[in-house]
């Protein structure tokens, strides 16, 4: 279903961007796969393979003999050409037949999600196409592949809504499990056991999904759970997501561990958390088709710094899809490491995880990460957004 849906979408994108042909060239994808292959094939491919889609609607695949049946079964291609001794001859025959004037291939300088063609494979492709005078017709497929990933279909959105629902369910269960004296690792183990019980997969590497950080002076992000003990007065935050039907969620929740005699978090913790909530809503109100990611980042970042906190050292938000970090457009500042990603306009059906954070001295990091979808007129949350600290006795 997904492959047929995306192949048809690709034809329309080629027309929109006035490109004759999109060519994805790959081999041994289990070892070094192209990020777009899941939209084109139902399983990994082995030998040199080409998936070719034209603006005129032709859909061709040239693959090794033992991959033919699986590709044909998708029903997405007009013709699947198999080979035994070599890829070159059948590939060049198809390309001469199609004779595209522009050939968008799977490389990109600006987006890792569109850059699946290794340098060696690029040289191989150029060598093949040079034999038939087409080597100079190559261009980057970034515009096409970005749009294909970013403009989520009804199937993709439904899968992500389910991933969000499952994530929220497990967050609810762990909030009843957490107690002072537990370690980060014990809390993470509880969540992993719940994933296993439900037959779910984590959205990223199991060693860091979930990530659990309790109290001040932690690694804060991109680090696995440790033996650090949950103590009264700690702010505890978790970064967690699941994968359903091939699509991810990516969410964070913040907890406060009550001290004896406390019925609510102390004022500095409440202020920090409330600032996060205001930053999230400021971001959502700025998100709409045509807005740039840098505008959304600025809206949230200004709330944080205006409340007297240091700005967070990362982009406000990233797209989510088949990976927890997906897509090209980014909700971020104009920093060198982000290139042109924050300047790209937002489009309807893009899905973002929005994650401002700040440090509450002596307590820990307050953060919430919720997922939003761009609609025709603005943005709406896919998740039931956290607007109150979760208090742990």
Per CATH, is 2-149 categorized as 3.40.350.10? Answer: yes
Per-residue pLDDT at 218: 87
Q: How confident is the model at residue 219 (pLDDT cuts 50, 70, 90)?
A: confident
Q: Give the C-alpha separation, 141 to 123, whole Å.
A: 16
Residue 222 predicted with pLDDT over 90: no
Residue 221 predicted with pLDDT over 90: no
Q: Give the C-alpha separation, 119 to 175, whole Å.
A: 48
pTM recorded for the entire structure: 0.94
Could you tell me whether strands 379-381 and 370-374 are parallel, antiparallel, or unpaired per DSSP bridges? antiparallel
- For the chain, the average pLDDT equals 96
Helix (H) or strand (E) holding 177: helix 154-177
Per-residue pLDDT at 1: 80
At the topology level of CATH, where does 151-392 sit? Creatine Amidinohydrolase (3.90.230)
Mean pLDDT, rounded, for 307-319 = 97
For the chain, give every domain's residue range: 2-149, 151-392
Mean pLDDT, rounded, for 271-285 = 98
Residue 217 predicted with pLDDT over 90: no
Per-residue pLDDT at 129: 98
Mean pLDDT, rounded, for 326-351 = 97
DSSP code string of 182-201:
-BHHHHHHHHHHHHHHHT-E
Q: Give the C-alpha separation, 348 to 154, whole Å.
A: 12
Beta bridge partners of 105: 23, 140
Q: Give the C-alpha separation, 26 to 40, whole Å.
A: 11
Structure tokens at 3: 């492959």
Per-residue pLDDT at 244: 96
Strand order in the sheet with 103-105: 79-83, 59-64, 49-54, 21-26, 103-105, 138-140
């Amino acid at each position: 279903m997904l492959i047929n849906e995306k192949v048809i979408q690709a034809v329309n994108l080629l027309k929109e961007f006035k490109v004759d042909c999109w060519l994805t060239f790959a081999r041994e994808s289990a070892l070094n796969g192209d990020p777009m292959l899941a939209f084109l094939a139902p399983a990994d491919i082995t030998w040199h393979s080409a998936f070719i889609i034209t603006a005129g609607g032709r859909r061709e695949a040239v693959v090794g003999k033992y991959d033919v049946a699986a590709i044909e079964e998708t029903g997405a291609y007009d013709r699947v050409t198999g080979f035994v001794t070599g890829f070159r001859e059948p590939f060049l025959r198809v390309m001469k037949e199609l004779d595209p004037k522009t050939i968008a291939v799977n490389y990109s300088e600006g987006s890792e999600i569109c850059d699946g063609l290794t340098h060696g494979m690029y040289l191989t492709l150029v060598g093949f196409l040079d034999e038939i005078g087409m080597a100079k017709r190559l261009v980057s497929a970034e515009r096409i592949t970005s749009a294909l990933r970013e403009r989520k279909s009804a199937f993709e959105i439904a899968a992500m809504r389910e991933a969000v629902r499952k994530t929220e369910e497990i967050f609810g269960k762990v909030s009843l499990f957490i107690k002072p004296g537990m370690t980060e690792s014990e809390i993470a183990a509880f969540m992993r056991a719940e994933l296993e019980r439900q037959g779910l997969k984590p959205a990223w590497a199991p060693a860091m999904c979930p990530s659990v950080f309790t109290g001040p002076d932690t690694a804060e992000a991109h680090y696995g759970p440790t033996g650090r003990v949950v103590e009264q007065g700690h702010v505890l935050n978790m970064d967690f997501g699941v994968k359903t039907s091939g699509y991810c969620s990516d969410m964070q929740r913040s907890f406060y561990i009550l001290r004896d005699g406390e019925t609510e978090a102390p004022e500095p913790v409440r202020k920090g958390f409330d600032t996060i909530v205001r930053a999230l809503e400021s971001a959502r109100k700025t998100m709409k088709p045509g807005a740039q990611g840098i505008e959304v980042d600025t809206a949230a970042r200004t709330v944080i710094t205006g409340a007297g906190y240091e700005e967070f050292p990362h982009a406000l938000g990233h797209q989510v899809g088949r990976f927890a970090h997906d897509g090209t457009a980014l909700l971020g500042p104009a920093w060198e490491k982000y290139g042109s990603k924050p300047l790209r306009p937002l489009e309807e059906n893009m899905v973002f995880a929005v994650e401002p954070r700040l440090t509450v001295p002596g307590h820990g990091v307050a953060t919430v990460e919720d997922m939003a979808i761009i609609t025709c007129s603005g943005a709406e949350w896919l998740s039931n957004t956290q607007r109150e600290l979760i208090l742990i006795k």
